[in-house]
Structure 1
């Protein structure tokens, strides 16, 4: 769900029986390199790096100037350390950043503290996780905030940063928070809805750092830049810097899209975020679609507006919801950068096809998206697609194959949804779509 807009970068807010199966993990990352013009990427870099999510402009560029050493405190879940090792390796190899675990007795300048979701929401009610400068324990947050020490806009250099992650969420939610908050702890603090291929986007479609994100972080730590630079100083150095790091972007024509108005951002956050009534969500989603139409958008933001409207309408007007999901898919299919967006929409369209007993249609929708969910490392989506595929196979008389697919989904569901009860709930939810079954 989209996070709240503000000055604190955040990501918007057990053992199991043997028959659920072992947790599955993704192996080799397969990031897609950015396919945009360097001119457009320079604009993205400046907007990401020189302002906060609230829209407040930053006076100076800031980053770590010393090697980054990371420690983990609190009560981390078992999947956190392997996921951390994996993303640190990517940051070293893909972004060229000097970042690693701190030794057992060595000092660290970046602390990842694993605490309960309740503890996180005590400090930021709408956040799933967040990142703060100048402290290393969540118990210090309130006092530091009152003293103004957590103010990102006053930083000219990063020396001590803390990330607070939930230790009682699903493994995927913890990993997703880790990727986004770690990237913001060391790099850009802003999120931009106009980016279709980045975790620096509050639609949360991307769950792990992308090829675009790694280019932004590589540029962030390039020798041409340093902490304390002004907007104009950074802007002057970006063209040559990006030409060096991303030569393919020199030959791509500019395709810059318009900025996203605050009214649309607020509408989407109300529609899909926490705390609003159904009526408020419905009105907000309708407003998002209306703004997207008025702006003349044909990009992923128009698609996401319809996707949000479909999500809201599902429980009261399934037919209208499907029209919005189909509209979303039509906009998403116009660009290869929105492959994960299409996969999310396909799961909604396939669920409707299954509920109508059209297993063959559901299979056509699902099958191409399984590889997409794997490539973008979205285990929750992958598990859902596999469970939907199992029901579609049952509807087409392929029960033996359906059983195999259903079993294959469970390990991904363990990572994507977490606890045994959550996995079983998802299985029941998907099975209930099948008109051949009664519950």
Structure 2
């Protein structure tokens, strides 16, 4: 478990037994089939309100956290450089650990599993429509800034993956909820609306999130394919200072696409609990390219995918495959 000032971003996948955390996937899959929302259901942005003392105290805490990390040379925004070399073999190994393996066991909340559990490749097959919503505690200037950054990042993810990913104002299936301590009622209501059937344990996790957990993302799979994501919800705390909040956006949206785990060997990467990098790196862009490469299929195991991922990693690094596929 990460220390209190470290990022710990689970993904809940509601759909086969899968549980990950620490920038990972936490899951409880039960073949949940989301019901469609009425087309007439519109989200009305709440009027901003003054933050409570509890929210202000949390904001001060997170500012201290960010300052501490920056003082130690962490939360880098350069995407990696000469001091962080990686090879095709590194890339393939990190992809396998981040996409296929699970540090946490189902049914144990956020408790680590006794050993890493191998799963199957999960990602979106349909278009990803990213919609951003704000709680009443989020001031107008922050709403504008966050909206612009999330929209820009959605475009970047589309270019990297070659998948249909776009920001939308209506009809979202990937909901980014920027909320604070004072928005718990709004958060619970929206979760129940966009993920019908969400269980009380998941609602409580979101509503009573310890301050050591910076952000969360739920990825929901369809009823007919437990490895096909059809809906997602990311929680971003408004109390975070700008860099940590943007770091949450980068991590959560990428995790919600299928890069669900962490690896201590991944570098330069945001999929690592060491907080060295705040924003998506060159290494992470290649992981996303690999994840949405059409040669890889949903439901593949690590063993099935390994010859392909090795070849794809070598191609992305400008090397020829060692063996024909």
Shorter chain as normaliser: what TM range? 0.5 to 0.7
Deviations 1:207-234 (A, max 9, x none): 1000000000010000111211122121
Deviations 1:124-146 (A, max 9, x none): 323111111239xxxxxxxxxxx
Deviations 1:4-52 (A, max 9, x none): 597354669x9xxxxxxxxxxxxxx964478422122111111111112
Q: Which runs of 5+ in 1 are unaligned?
A: 15-28, 136-148, 252-439
Give, in angstroms, the shift of residue 173 of structure 1. Answer: 2.0
Correspondence for 1:175 among 246, 249, 255: 246
- Residue 247 of structure 1 pairs with residue 318 of structure 2: yes
Q: Which runs of 5+ in 2 are unaligned?
A: 11-18, 25-49, 51-76, 105-114, 185-204
Correspondence for 1:45 among 95, 104, 124: 95
Correspondence for 2:294 among 223, 233, 258: 223
Larger Rg: 1
- Residues 11 and 129 in structure 1, CA contact (< 8 A), matched pair in contact too: no
Deviations 1:229-255 (A, max 9, x none): 12212112112222332215979xxxx
- Residue 69 of structure 1 pairs with residue 129 of structure 2: yes
RMSD: 3.2
Q: C-alpha distance in 2, partners of 1:9/1:81?
A: 26
Structure with the bigger percentage of strand: 2
What is the match of residue 124 of structure 1?
209
Q: C-alpha distance in 1, partners of 2:174/2:123?
A: 12
Give, in angstroms, the shift of residue 56 of structure 1. Answer: 4.2
Structure 1 residues 31 and 97, CA gap change in structure 2 (3 angstroms): farther
**Number of equivalent positions:** 218
Q: C-alpha distance in 1, partners of 2:119/2:23?
A: 24
Q: C-alpha distance in 2, partners of 1:116/1:237?
A: 43
Structure 1 residues 219 and 245, CA gap change in structure 2 (3 angstroms): same
Q: C-alpha distance in 1, partners of 2:253/2:271?
A: 11
Structure 1 residues 211 and 4, CA gap change in structure 2 (3 angstroms): closer
**Greater RCO structure (CA 8 Å; 6+ sep):** 2
What is the match of residue 108 of structure 1?
172
What is the match of residue 342 of structure 1?
none
What is the match of residue 99 of structure 1?
165
Deviations 1:295-320 (A, max 9, x none): xxxxxxxxxxxxxxxxxxxxxxxxxx
Give, in angstroms, the shift of residue 178 of structure 1. Answer: 0.5
- Residues 79 and 279 in structure 2, CA contact (< 8 A), matched pair in contact too: no
- Residues 11 and 128 in structure 1, CA contact (< 8 A), matched pair in contact too: no
